[in-house]
Every structure is written in C-alpha cells, then in structure tokens.
C-alpha cells in the first residue's frame, strides 16, 4: 500500500493507494476512525455490489453497519436524496461516532459527504472512490454538496474525510466513458501545476487508456499529491490559491447547468471548459498557441469533448458564469494559464472575448 498524506493539523488524513486489496478497507477504516462504532455505507446502483463487500469488511472490524443505495446519476445530488440519507441515519440511531462511508463516484461522495457534514452538526466521513474522477479529484479536499436547479453545487460545505481508500482495481469494470471523463481532471493537474506530469501523460497516454496497473497507480497518486499540496495551503478557498483547481470549471459548470445535469459527465464538461479557457488565455494575450494545441491534442486522444454545443443559448451560459463562485459582483472571472504548469485568476476578461470563445467550433 502506498500513501499520500494530507496535512491539515487536527483534520489531517491519509489517502491509501492500493490495487486489488478489497479486504483492506475495514482495517484502514478502523485506524482512520478509532472512536467510531457504526457506519452508514452509501452507494449507488452502479456500486452496490462493491458496497456490500465494503460493508462486510467493516463489520469484520467492529462496525455496526447500515446501508443506502441511491439512484445513479448527477440528478441524485439533490435535497430530496439528501433527506433520504438523513432518514437512514436517524433509523440507525446515528450519533457523532457514526461514520458515513461513501462508496462510489463523485455524486455519491458529494452527497454522502454533505450528509456527514450536516447531520448532528457533523459526522466522520470515509471516502471509497470507485471512479477515476472521484479518485483523483472529488474524494480529496473536503468539498461536499448538492445541486440546485439554479446552479451546480450551490449548496454545500467543507468537510474533510477521516481517510480515503483508493483501490485502482475498482476501475477495471468502470465504463469507458466514465473512465475517460476522469482523465480530464488528470490533464488539469498537469496544466495548472506540473509541466513534467503533463509531459508524462502525453508519453504514456496509451498505457493509461489501457488501464495498465502501474500507470494507474502513478497517475492517481501524483494527482492526489498535487491536489493535497493545494488543499494544505488553502483548505477553504480563503487565500485564492485553491481557486486554481477550478481551471476550466467556470465554463464547465455553465455547460452542465444549461445542458441539464447528466447530459454531459462532469469530466466531459471540464475538458471542453479547459479548451475554452486556453483559447480565452490566448485571445487575452497570456499565452501563445502551443499550450492550447497540446492540451487539445491530449484531450482528443482521451476521447473527450473539446467545444460547447451550439444549441446551448450563449446568453444563458454567460448568465450562469456571472453567478459562478469565482465571480465578483457579477463580473466574469476566470482561471487562465500563463504557461504550462501555471495558472492565475483574472478578473479583467472582456465578455466579448468569452462570447468569441464560446462561438468557436
């Protein structure tokens, strides 16, 4: 087992990285949650069988368990499904030593995490991500929440997990579209923080798409380390540093909102959003064409979308961007690259340039 440590003082935790070690979840949970006596295991229709295995190893390590299976899909990140989790916690007489164990992708992690953050004013949380996107991004850093008809992730809280258990063998049965979607966030880390990592992704794209175990462990581990480095310095987005992790996301959240939750997977929206952000940086005079060309080529190799859909009304996309959490007083703000491996927040981007980028094929 390899480990990545997220150092946040009393909220520090370990990310365990393994391959084909399903029985290890229980002992890991016992170490991460020494005071917990019970656990609610949350999964969706796609991960219910894995959740059964997790629940068994938790019981073998002294946890009283209950389980909830929610529908699969982005629509599950709702107040209605959140209420169902509260009901399940109440039914099992949950107290503050009861853990929520989220077994699934980003939707399960965000929903289960927000239930843990808010029930009884906070329960311990263990993440068991099963998708590429959840392993490299959403399970790490403490962001939890649900969607609202007016916008993605409008209701949420910061709530760090007690631990994250990543078994890359879970990816063996992940549908190809879901796997490729997660690669968008991997590419993001190279663009925003680590040029050599981006070079490595270009050189090893074939092995990564083939899900070669050693390549998976390296890519997932490096992505987690890069995200942990940012979270350690700006846990709650108070200094502005953590905003770099939202590269491409201002466009992406608009695509998801206007296109309808679930129309595109999150990583698909992020991929198109990063292409838009690079083009915006080029039109804004921040970079030359090479960075955007390399990013476009890698995302295309990974089979990801690289442009918004022409049927999405541009005025609606702009309106959603004005309500993005990085916006200030309704003014558009974007994370844009200044070179490969570095991005910054810009609040002086003319709307006309944004419209020009959205109109590009």
- Smallest CA-to-CA distance from 160 within 265, 15, 36 is with 15
Phi, psi (rounded to 5 degrees) for 32: -75, -25
Residue from 159, 246, 256, 326 carrying the catalytic annotation: 246
Residue from 143, 218, 225, 326 carrying the catalytic annotation: 143
Q: Is 2 a catalytic residue?
A: no
Q: Is 237 a catalytic residue?
A: yes
Residue from 225, 227, 279, 333 carrying the catalytic annotation: 227
Q: Is 195 a catalytic residue?
A: no
CB within 8 Å of 156: residues ≥ 6 apart: 110, 114, 143, 144, 145, 146
DSSP character string of 190-205: HHHH-HHHHHHHHHTH
Q: Is 227 a catalytic residue?
A: yes
Residue from 218, 253, 279, 326 carrying the catalytic annotation: 253
Distance, in Å, from the CA atom of 21 to the CA atom of 165, rounded to the nearest integer, reads: 10
Q: Is 326 a catalytic residue?
A: no
Q: Which two tokens stand for residue 349?
A: 């981007």
Residue from 185, 235, 256, 268 carrying the catalytic annotation: 185
Cα–Cα distances (Å) from 200 to 79, 137, 213, 222, in that order, read 41, 19, 16, 11
Q: Is 143 a catalytic residue?
A: yes
Residue from 266, 279, 326, 333 carrying the catalytic annotation: 266
What DSSP character marks residue 139?
A: T
Residue from 159, 218, 249, 326 carrying the catalytic annotation: 249
Annotated binding site for Zn(2+): 185, 249, 266
DSSP character string of 36-48: --EEEEEEETTTH
CB within 8 Å of 237: residues ≥ 6 apart: 243
Q: Is 59 a catalytic residue?
A: no
Annotated binding site for NAD(+): 106-110, 130-131, 143, 152, 170-173
Annotated binding site: 106-110, 130-131, 143, 152, 170-173, 185, 249, 266
Phi, psi (rounded to 5 degrees) for 312: -80, 120
Distance, in Å, from the CA atom of 128 to the CA atom of 138, rounded to the nearest integer, reads: 11
Residue from 188, 242, 326, 333 carrying the catalytic annotation: 242
| DSSP-based three-state secondary structure for 300 | helix
Q: Is 246 a catalytic residue?
A: yes
- Smallest CA-to-CA distance from 75 within 251, 260, 253, 249 is with 260
Q: Mind telling me the catalytic residues? A: 121, 143, 185, 227, 237, 242, 246, 249, 253, 266
């Amino acid at each position: 087992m390899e480990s990545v440590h997220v150092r946040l003082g009393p909220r520090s935790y370990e990310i365990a990285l393994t391959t084909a070690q399903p029985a290890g979840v229980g002992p890991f949970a016992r170490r991460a949650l020494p005071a917990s006596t019970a656990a609610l295991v949350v999964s969706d229709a796609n991960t219910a069988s894995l959740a059964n295995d997790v629940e068994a190893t938790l019981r073998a390590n002294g946890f009283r368990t209950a389980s909830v299976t929610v529908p699969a899909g982005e629509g599950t990140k709702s107040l209605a499904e959140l209420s169902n989790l509260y009901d399940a916690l109440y039914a099992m007489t949950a107290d503050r030593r009861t853990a929520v164990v989220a077994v699934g992708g980003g939707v399960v992690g965000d929903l289960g995490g927000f239930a843990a953050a808010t029930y009884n004013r906070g329960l311990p949380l263990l993440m068991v991500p099963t998708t590429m996107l959840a392993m490299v991004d959403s399970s790490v850093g403490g962001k939890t929440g649900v969607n609202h008809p007016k916008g993605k992730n409008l209701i949420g809280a910061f709530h760090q997990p007690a631990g994250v258990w990543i078994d890359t063998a879970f990816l063996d049965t992940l549908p190809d579209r879901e796997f490729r979607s997660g690669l968008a966030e991997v590419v993001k880390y190279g663009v925003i923080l680590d040029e050599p990592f981006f070079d490595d992704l270009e050189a090893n794209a074939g092995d990564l798409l083939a899900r070669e175990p050693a390549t998976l462990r390296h890519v997932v581990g490096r992505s987690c380390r890069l995200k942990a480095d940012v979270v350690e310095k700006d846990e709650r987005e108070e200094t502005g540093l953590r905003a770099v992790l939202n590269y491409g996301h201002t466009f992406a959240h608009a695509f998801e909102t206007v296109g309808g939750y679930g129309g595109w997977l999150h990583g698909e929206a992020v991929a198109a959003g990063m292409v838009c952000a690079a083009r915006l940086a080029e039109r804004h005079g921040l970079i030359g064409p090479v960075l955007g060309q390399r990013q476009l080529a890698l995302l295309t190799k990974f089979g990801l979308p690289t442009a918004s859909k022409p049927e999405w009304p541009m005025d609606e996309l702009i309106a959603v961007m004005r309500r993005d959490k990085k916006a200030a007083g309704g003014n558009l703000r974007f994370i844009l690259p200044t070179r490969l491996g570095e991005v910054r927040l810009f609040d002086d981007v003319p709307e006309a340039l944004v419209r020009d980028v959205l109109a590009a094929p």
